[in-house]
Amino acid sequence: MEFAAAVRVSNSNLIPFISPLSSTTRYQSPNASFIISTTLSRRSFACKSTVKDTTTAQVVKMSSDDSSRFELSSLTALSPLDGRYWGKVKDLAPLMSEYGLIYFRVLVEIKWLLKLSQIPEVTEVPSFSKEADSFLQGLIDGFSMDDALEVKTIENVTNHDVKAVEYFLKQKCKSNPEIAEVLEFFHFACTSEDINNLAHALMLKEAMNSVMFPVMDELIKAMCNMAKDNAHIPMLSRTHGQPASPTTLGKEMAIFAVRLSRERQDISNVEIMGKFAGAVGNYNAHLVAYPDTKWPQIAEDFVKSLGLSFNPYVTQIETHDYMAKLFHALIRFNNILIDFDRDIWGYISLGYFKQITKAGEIGSSTMPHKVNPIDFENSEGNLGKANSGLSFQSMKLPISRWQRDLTDSTVLRNMGEGLGHSLLAYKSALQGIGKLQVNETFLSEDLNQTWEVLAEPIQTVMRRYGVPEPYEKLKELTRGRAVTKERIRDFIEGLELPEEAKTNLLNLTPHTYIGAAVKLAKAVDLAVNLVNGMKVL
């Protein structure tokens, strides 16, 4: 299903915005258009700024007459995820928006009724016929924008979002005689959080598996390709920003591929958990109604049937500890990618990479020669934004007063924001990688200017053969002085070393002093596969 930003949205075209900031809504009658808008105060307001050098302060006024100009669109969305960047993150919208939350609530309520029909002790809900099963499954498979709007219209009356889902299902099922007999069992023994926690878990599970993991894997694969393609290209290392022992460009890319693979593996190993134990986690109401039924086992079977892990020790809410674990793992993945973005930014600055340009693109509004590394800058910025939200959620969500408070509810509605900014960052980094072109000539020239990096292997060989004070001798030769190929060769010639060792040192250049870098870079696929089985949640 395609989703597109619009100013006015009809019943059949509800936008599932990723950020709740962009989804302020008001509703007309049940069959009328669904209008998303911002409503301004009747009183005019002004934003004033005074500059000392000006004689008149600038005043910007907006009256309530202008409010129609600011109905929600890609230009007026408070969140850029739902505005400027919508095209890059819209795949998350069906899952991480309020539409997605409503859909998964519907799924859980229906699956619970089906589960009750399979419990022998619950004689009031007999086994459904194939036709009834098909009818209920059809409500899940055929869930539409119109359905979501109908739920929201009911919520306007109930002022309770989960109860609105229950009433919606009762209305939908009145037409089926078999299900109409058991309508009150849709929400049997459930607290709202029994439904919500499973819906949130399914939202995260599906978003990670169908949207996030594929792009993360594409990013890791792109780095693996960079590693293999550039495995043999020598490059001057820089430790503390200073020239250091050479490496290869490919091996440095392999490091990031393997690091991200480890974190990707950790993310996929997080157990997405759910609870279904009633108002305070003890099955109180269940056992009063059906005291001889093994409700804890039924709850576990039900949660697992949804593809989730079961949490048996809970209050009214699932404790959200798994969310903290998941979000922390995403933060670690994102931090590694920030490191990559900054390194590539630096290599572009050094001239190690050129950027392929497109006709018509402008790098700087005033300096025509510039091609800025904007993709990596965009990626870095969005990773920081993602991490701030994910960090807050991972710290806040596991904390709830006594058996529950409501502070988690509004925070959970922002899960899509952290994933959205992460997804945007991954795609920006991929776009940047696609523009890179290695400048082998510049890399080679850089190495030609830094023969002092051979001080390390020379003094190491001197140690092996017992030459006194090798470090000190090389320090005297190299520190603070221009070191040329000739000076290095003259120094080696003057050493008392076996001829074979001396010949090996004389044959060494900054381009060939790269150790096992080529082999490490070429083996990156094996290393990534060993680290990461590319699992799903």
Q: Considering the candidates 49, 175, 240, 365, report the single residue annotated as catalytic.
A: 240
Taking a C-beta distance cutoff of 8 angstroms, is the pair 195, 162 a contact? yes
Q: Where does the chain hold its CATH 1.10.40.30 domain(s)?
A: 451-509
Q: What is the pLDDT of residue 201?
A: 98
Region 383-410: mean pLDDT is 96
**Sign of torsion, CA 297 303 305 307?**
negative
**Sign of torsion, CA 69 71 74 76?**
positive
Q: What is the pLDDT of residues 235-284, one digit of tens each?
A: 999 999 999 999 999 999 999 999 999 999 999 999 999 999 999 999 99
Q: What is the pLDDT of residue 12?
A: 43
At 140, the pLDDT band (50, 70, 90 cuts) reads very high
Q: What is the pLDDT of residue 371?
A: 76
- Catalytic, 328? Answer no
- Catalytic, 364? Answer yes
Q: Which of 32-36, 99-103, 338-342 has the lowest mean pLDDT?
A: 32-36
Q: Which CATH superfamily is domain 93-190 in?
A: Fumarase/aspartase (N-terminal domain) (1.10.275.10)
Residue 33 pLDDT more than 90?
no
Q: What is the pLDDT of residues 141-173, one digit of tens each?
A: 999 999 999 999 999 999 999 999 999 999 999
Helix (H) or strand (E) run with residue 267 in it: helix 249-268
Q: Where does the chain hold its CATH 1.10.275.10 domain(s)?
A: 93-190
Q: What is the pLDDT of residue 473?
A: 87
At 14, the pLDDT band (50, 70, 90 cuts) reads low
How many other CB atoms sit within 10 Å of the CB of residue 428?
A: 23
pTM of the shown model: 0.88
How far apart, in whole angstroms, are the C-alpha atoms of residue 45 and residue 431? 42
Q: What is the pLDDT of residues 53-107, one digit of tens each?
A: 544 444 444 444 555 667 778 888 889 999 999 999 999 999 999 999 999 999 9
At 5, the pLDDT band (50, 70, 90 cuts) reads very low
Region 281-308: mean pLDDT is 97
At 481, the pLDDT band (50, 70, 90 cuts) reads confident
What is the chain's mean pLDDT, rounded? Answer: 88
How is residue 291 annotated by DSSP?
Answer: T
Residue 354: Cβ-neighbour burial (10 angstroms; 0-12, 13-18, 19+): middle
Q: Which of 77-91, 104-118, 183-197, 421-435 has the lowest mean pLDDT?
A: 77-91
How far apart, in whole angstroms, are the C-alpha atoms of residue 8 and residue 82? 14
Instruction: Match domain 451-509 to its CATH number in 3.40.250.10, 1.20.1560.10, 3.40.50.300, 1.10.40.30.
Output: 1.10.40.30
Q: What is the pLDDT of residues 192-226, one digit of tens each?
A: 999 999 999 999 999 999 999 999 999 999 999 99
How far apart, in whole angstroms, are the C-alpha atoms of residue 295 and residue 277? 8
Question: Which has more pLDDT, 372 or 427?
Answer: 427
Alpha helices, DSSP H, located in 142-181:
145-158, 161-173, 177-180
Q: Considering the candidates 364, 409, 422, 444, report the single residue annotated as catalytic.
A: 364
Helix (H) or strand (E) run with residue 235 in it: strand 234-239
Q: Where does the chain hold its CATH 1.20.200.10 domain(s)?
A: 198-361+369-439
Q: What is the pLDDT of residue 63?
A: 44
What's the CATH code, domain 198-361+369-439?
1.20.200.10
Residue 466 pLDDT more than 90?
yes
Q: What is the pLDDT of residues 355-376, one digit of tens each?
A: 987 765 655 555 555 578 999 9
